[in-house]
Amino acid sequence: MKKLLFSLFYCIAVISMSANEIFAKNPPEAISILDAVKQKLITVKATGKGGFNGKCLKMEIKNISPKLLNINIFAGTIFDNTEDWQQDLMVVEEQIVALNPKNTNFVNLQTVCVQPSNGSPAKGVSFLLAKIAEGHLLKLAQFISQKKYFTSTAQSAVWAVINGSGMGNIFGEDTVMVKELCAIVSEATGQPCNAGNYKARPHQITSISTSLDVLIPDYTKNATVTLYTRNGQLFRNQLKNVAVPPGFYRFKMGVNHILKDTTTFYLRLEENGKIISEKIVTKNDSVPQLQKMNKATLAYNVDSDVNTRIGIYDEEDNLYILLADNKPLKKGFHKSEFLEAKRELPLGKNYFFKVKANGKTLAQQKILLDKAEAKKYAPLTKRGTFTCKLEKDMPIAKLAVYDDNDQVVWVVFSDSKLSRGNKQIPYVFQHQYGTEAVFMLKLTDSEGNIIASQSVK
């Protein structure tokens, strides 16, 4: 019996060993990462490690199939940044990743940027597997991978192919590398390299992420966002034909240059030669955090027909978000809603939802951004019954809710007809005054005389 068991064990071991040897000699054919995703063999998650040139992309790759896979990540594979103002990245070092069934692996990818006018990817930002490069860009990526030219010079060569210009940025201390890269870029752009390219000298890229935050006071029709050197020379046209209504705007961009890292720039919003806003850009720039707005409802009464401007203002009455302009409102009660909660505005300010006419504020509601304050003054609904006795008929009656400043909070009804006698009128209204607020219900006639009133707590 023991001999039989030993024989079976030996046979299994031999068979197993033979299978491993066969697999080692005949690994599965490599499949591109794009094809593997399309065939639903793998899932991919990519996260930026900060920066754009180097091993700047961490990828989690999971085999969801029942078979062993060899995944080929070709040079030229492009990942799209989920932050649209930050750079997309392209792989410039081919890798093959072996994956056991239902197994996960992590790979750091060598990348370059393919959007020179965007900001450098932040650490932790998500990327999506997108496509493979084409034409000269693909050829250049494969050449960089083959030669292991993981340098800032190679990055400048990639940008030159993408922009069709920038030959003067291709130089470095390794003249052989420069000549080889120049040859591919010249083929792509039709622009020759010269002695200036081949002069050996250090190459360094300074990458700046910056933004121009501006309050635009009036409608713009043909504005531009432009970057200038400090001596006034044009460095880049970032945006043209900017046509926006008044309000707060943030124009985000990346500045990547090979000048001294102490170089500074002017970033300007201009219209017809007039500077609307300007800032000095340095290597230490960053993009400040903004805060998201919360939804708000504003109930109010207007005394006559009027054209209004509705928007979000700060405590100094500066317009930050224009919601409606020249909006006609009829005399009476109205309710406006601010639902653009995704809009972001600068930190450290109080904001108000306002209705204005002829520059005068008709009604306003504070935007509650502090969590404790928002909870304390969350929208509340109050229901009840208004009771009174009318001595005579009221052909035109109005029942409204007023705050302690005698401002209309809600109109239950207006221009209604009531007959004399005992009345029990149900009402419901919403407010953001907190649970301790006290209101007054007032029944008034066509002349505004108070016929009956009732306190509501």
User: Tens digit of pLDDT per residue, the chain (457 long)?
Assistant: 555 444 444 444 444 443 344 445 566 899 999 999 999 999 999 999 999 999 999 999 999 999 999 999 999 999 999 999 999 999 999 999 999 999 999 999 999 999 999 999 999 999 999 999 999 999 999 999 999 999 999 999 999 999 887 799 999 999 999 999 999 999 999 999 999 999 999 999 999 999 999 999 999 999 999 999 999 999 999 999 999 999 999 999 999 999 999 999 999 999 999 999 999 999 999 999 999 998 888 989 898 999 999 999 999 999 999 999 999 999 989 989 998 767 899 999 999 999 999 999 999 999 988 888 888 888 899 999 999 999 999 999 999 999 998 988 999 998 899 999 999 999 999 888 988 999 999 999 999 999 999 999 8
Same domain, 250 and 307: no
The candidate with the shortest Cα–Cα distance to 310, out of 349, 336, 341, is: 336
Same domain, 122 and 167: yes
Q: Can you give the CATH number for the domain in which 235 is found?
A: 2.60.40.2560
Q: What is the pLDDT of residue 374?
A: 84
Q: What is the pLDDT of residue 43?
A: 98
Q: What is the pLDDT of residue 3?
A: 52
Q: What is the pLDDT of residue 327?
A: 97
Same domain, 89 and 189: yes
Same domain, 128 and 150: yes
Domain assignment of residue 17, yes or no = no
Same domain, 307 and 363: yes
- Among 172, 198, 224, the domain boundary falls at 198
What predicted TM-score, i.e. pTM, was given to this entire model? 0.83
Q: What is the pLDDT of residue 379?
A: 86
Domain assignment of residue 321, yes or no = yes
Same domain, 268 and 384: no
Q: Can you give the CATH number for the domain in which 421 is found?
A: 2.60.40.3110
Domain assignment of residue 159, yes or no = yes
For 77, 159, 208, 258, 281, the CA distances from 118, given in Å and listed in that order, are 19, 12, 9, 16, 15
What distance in Å separates the CA atoms of residue 9 and residue 250, rounded to the nearest whole number?
Answer: 72
- Among 348, 374, 400, the domain boundary falls at 374
Domain assignment of residue 19, yes or no = no
Q: What is the pLDDT of residue 164?
A: 82
Domain assignment of residue 155, yes or no = yes
Indicate the number of domains in the chain: 4
In a 13 Å sphere around the CA of 62, the CA atoms on its Cβ side amount to: 7
Q: Which domain holds residue 115?
A: 31-198
Structure tokens at 13: 């071991």
Domain assignment of residue 270, yes or no = yes
Same domain, 161 and 269: no
Pairing of strands 31-32, 69-73: parallel
- Among 163, 198, 233, the domain boundary falls at 198
Same domain, 369 and 388: no
Domain assignment of residue 6, yes or no = no
Q: What is the pLDDT of residue 339?
A: 87
Domain assignment of residue 10, yes or no = no
What distance in Å separates the CA atoms of residue 127 and residue 47, rounded to the nearest whole number?
Answer: 6
Q: Can you give the CATH number for the domain in which 340 is found?
A: 2.60.40
Same domain, 41 and 103: yes
The candidate with the shortest Cα–Cα distance to 386, out of 351, 427, 416, 357, is: 427
Q: Residues 362-368: contacts with CB within 8 Å, 24+ apart?
A: 362/300, 362/302, 362/306, 362/308, 363/298, 363/299, 363/300, 363/301, 363/407, 364/298, 364/313, 365/296, 365/297, 365/298, 365/432, 367/293, 367/294, 367/296, 367/312, 367/338, 368/294, 368/296, 368/432
Same domain, 96 and 180: yes
Same domain, 163 and 38: yes
Same domain, 135 and 118: yes
